[in-house]
Chains A and B, each alone.
Chain A
Amino acid sequence: MARILIVDDALFMRQVLTTIFIAEGHEVCGEASNAKDGVEKYKTLKPDLVTMDIVMPMMEELDGIGAVKEIIRLDPKAKILVISAMSQQALVVEAIRLGAKDFLNKPVNPDRLKDTVRKILANP
Chain B
Amino acid sequence: MQDSYREIFLSESQEYLDNMNGCLVKLEENPRDLNSLNEIFRCTHTMKGMSATMGYDKIAQISHQMEDLLDELRGQKKAVTSNIIDTLFAGVDLLEQLLQEVRLNQESKTDISACMEALKNLLLEEPPPGPSEEAGPLTRKTPFITLDEVEWTEVELIKFKEAKENGFNVFKIQITLSENCPMKEARAFLVITNLKRRGEILAAAPSLEALKEGRFDRSFLIVLAVKEKSEILQQELAGISEVDDVKVSSAEIKPRASSLSEPAHPQETASEPSAAATPSGGTGSAGAQTEQPSSYLKKIQSIRIPVQRLDKIMNLMGELAISKIRLVQVVQSLKIQELEEISFTLDHLTSALQNEIMQTRLLPVAYILDNFTRVVRDLARRKNKEIDLEITGSEIELDRVVLDGIGDPLIHLLRNAIDHGLETPEERKAKGKNPKGKISIQVTRQKGHISIEVADDGRGVDFAAVGKKAVEKGLIPEQEVSHLDEKRVLEILTMPGFSTAKEITDTSGRGVGLDVVKVKIESLGGRVDFETKIGLGTKFLLTLPLTLAIIKAMLVKVRQEILAVPLMNIRETIKVRPEEIKMVQHFEVINVRDEVIPVIRLEKELGISLNRTQETTGINEAIPLVIIEYEKKALALLVNQIIGEQDIVVKPLPSFVKKTKGIAGATILGDGRVALILDIMSLKN
Chain A interfacial residues counted at CB < 8 A: 50
**Chain B residues, CB < 8 A from A15:** 4-5, 8
Contact across chains for B297 and A12 when beta carbons are under 8 A apart: no
Is the Cβ of B236 less than 8 Å from the Cβ of A98?
no
B292 touches A86 (CB 8 A): no
With contact pairs A10-B12, A63-B292, A98-B276 given, residues A16 and B186 touching in the complex (Cβ less than 8 Å) = no
Q: Which residue of B lies closest to A77 (CB)?
A: B283
Q: Among A19, A66, A87, A102, which residue has its beta carbon within 8 angstroms of that of B68?
A: A87
Whether A102 lies near B190 (C-beta < 8 A) is yes
Complex: how many Å from CA A38 to CA B479? 73
A97 near B193: Cβ-Cβ < 8 Å: yes
Given A13-B53, A16-B1, the answer on whether A56 and B286 have CB atoms closer than 8 Å is: no
Give chain B residues whose Cβ lies under 8 Å from the Cβ of A88: 45
CB atoms of B301 and A33 under 8 A apart:
yes
A94 at the binding interface (Cβ < 8 Å): yes
Q: Is the CB of A103 within 8 A of B276?
A: no
Q: How distant is B419 from chain A, measured CB to nearest CB, in Å?
A: 38
A112 to B181, CA, bound (A): 11
Provide the bound-state CA to CA distance between A97 and B271, in Å.
12
List residues of A (96-124) whose CB comes within 8 Å of B's CBs: 96-99, 102-108, 112, 115-116, 119, 122-123
CA distance in complex: A85, B299 (Å):
19
Residue B167 CB within 8 A of the other chain: no
The CA-CA distance from A10 to B8 in the complex, in Å, is 9
A68 to chain B, nearest CB (A): 10
Q: How distant is the Cα of A94 from the Cα of B304 in the complex, in angstroms?
A: 33
Give Cα distance in the complex from A34 to B46, angstroms.
14
Q: A119 vs B236: C-alpha distance in the bound complex, in angstroms?
A: 9
Considering the chains assembled together, what is the distance between the CA atoms of A69 and B290 in angstroms?
Answer: 11
A45 at the interface (CB under 8 A from B): no
Q: Does A55 contact B (CB under 8 A)?
A: yes
A10-B286 CB under 8 A given contacts A58-B295, A97-B277: no
B459 at the A/B interface (Cβ < 8 Å)? no
Residues of B contacting A57 in the complex (Cβ-Cβ under 8 angstroms): 42, 296-299
B71 beta carbon closer than 8 Å to chain A: yes
Verify if B530 is at the interface (C-beta below 8 Å from A).
no
Q: Note all chain B residues with C-beta closer than 8 A to A85.
A: 45, 48-49, 67
Chain B residue with the shortest CB-CB distance to A123: B239
The answer to whether B286 and A102 have CB atoms under 8 Å apart is no
Confirm or deny: B104 has a beta carbon within 8 angstroms of a beta carbon on chain A. no
**Chain B interface residue number, banded:** 35 or more
**Which residue on chain A has the smallest CB distance to residue B277?**
A97
CB within 8 Å for A116 and B52 given contacts A12-B9, A69-B288: no
**A106 and B186: CB pair below 8 A?**
no
User: Which B residue's beta carbon lies closest to that of A16?
Assistant: B53
Q: Which of A11-54 contact B (CB under 8 A)?
A: 11-13, 15-16, 19, 33-34
Task: Tell whether A93 pairs with B185 under 8 Å between CB atoms, given A102-B240, A116-B241.
Answer: yes
Does A2 lie at the interface of the complex (its beta carbon under 8 Å from any beta carbon of B)?
Answer: no
Expressed in whole angstroms, the minimum distance between the Cβ of A105 and any Cβ of chain B is: 5
CB of A98 within 8 A of CB of B286, answer yes
Decide yes or no: A55 and B276 within 8 Å by CB, A69-B286, A91-B293, A99-B286 being known contacts.
Answer: no
* Pair A89/B293 contact, Cβ less than 8 Å: no
User: From B286, which residue of chain A is reached at the shortest CB distance?
Assistant: A73
Is A92 close to B, CB under 8 A? Answer: yes
Residues of A within 8 A of B186 (CB): 89, 92-93, 96, 103
The answer on a CB contact under 8 Å between A103 and B183 is: yes
Q: In angstroms, how far is the closest chain A Cβ from the Cβ of B6?
A: 10
Q: How far is the CB of A39 from chain B (nearest CB, A)?
A: 14
Report if A115-B241 is in contact (Cβ < 8 Å); known contacts: A11-B12, A12-B8, A15-B5: yes
Q: Which residue of B lies closest to A37 (CB)?
A: B301
| Given A86-B183, A97-B193, A56 and B296 contact (CB-CB distance below 8 Å) | yes
State whether the Cβ of B50 lies closer than 8 Å to any Cβ in chain A.
yes
Bound CA–CA A103/B283 (angstroms):
20
B296 touches A119 (CB 8 A): no
Bound CA–CA A63/B286 (angstroms): 17
Min C-beta distance of B153 to chain A, whole Å:
25
Question: Are A55 and B42 within 8 A (Cβ)?
Answer: yes
Which residues does chain A contribute within 8 Å of B53, judged by CB atoms? 12-13, 16, 106-108
Q: Answer whether A9 and B274 are a contact pair too, CB < 8 Å, given A15-B8, A56-B296, A103-B190.
A: no
Contact of B295 among A63, A108, A123 (CB under 8 A): A63
A73's closest neighbor in chain B, by CB?
Answer: B286
A63 near B293 with CB under 8 A, answer: yes
A74 and chain B: residue at smallest CB distance: B284
Which B residues are in CB contact (< 8 Å) with A33? 301
Closest to B241 in A: A116
Q: How far is the CB of B26 from chain A (nearest CB, A)?
A: 16
Q: How far is the CA of A114 from the CA of B306 in the complex (A)?
A: 32
Give per-residue flags for B15-42: 1 if the beta carbon is below 8 A from chain A beta carbons, else 0.
0000000000000000000000000001
With both beta carbons as reference points, the residue of chain B lying nearest to A119 in the complex is identified as B239
Query: Within 8 Å CB of A98, what residues of B?
Result: 274, 276, 286, 288
B273 within 8 A of A: yes
Q: Which of B596-639 contact A (CB under 8 A)?
A: none
Which residues on the B side are within 8 Å of A107 (C-beta)?
A: 49, 52-53, 60
B182 CB within 8 Å of chain A: yes
The residue that A105 contacts in the complex, of B183, B273, B283, with Cβ under 8 A, is B183
Interface centre among A12, A33, A66 (most CB of B within 10 A): A12
Provide the bound-state CA to CA distance between A122 and B239, in Å: 8
Q: Would A72 and B286 be within 8 Å (CB), given that A63-B295, A112-B241, A119-B240 are in contact?
A: yes
- Whether B12 pairs with A12 at a CB distance below 8 angstroms is yes
Rounded to whole angstroms, the CA-CA distance of A90 and B186 in the bound complex is: 8
Min distance, Cβ B456 to any Cβ of chain A, angstroms:
35
| B498 at interface by CB-CB < 8 Å | no
Let me know if B189 and A87 touch, CB within 8 A: no
Bound-state Cα–Cα, A65 to B273, Å: 15
Knowing A33-B301, A103-B183, say if A55 contacts B5 (CB, 8 Å). no
Is A10 in contact with B49, judged by CB distance below 8 angstroms? yes
- A residues adjacent to B (C-beta < 8 A): 9-13, 15-16, 19, 33-34, 55-59, 63, 65-66, 69, 72-73, 76, 84-94, 96-99, 102-108, 112, 115-116, 119, 122-123
Q: List 12 A-B contacts (CB under 8 A).
A: A10-B12, A13-B53, A19-B2, A57-B297, A63-B293, A92-B183, A97-B193, A97-B290, A98-B286, A99-B283, A106-B53, A123-B236
Other than the known A13-B50, A84-B183, what 15 A-B pairs have Cβ atoms closer than 8 Å?
A12-B8, A55-B296, A56-B296, A57-B298, A57-B299, A65-B292, A72-B283, A73-B286, A88-B45, A96-B189, A96-B190, A97-B193, A97-B288, A99-B277, A119-B241
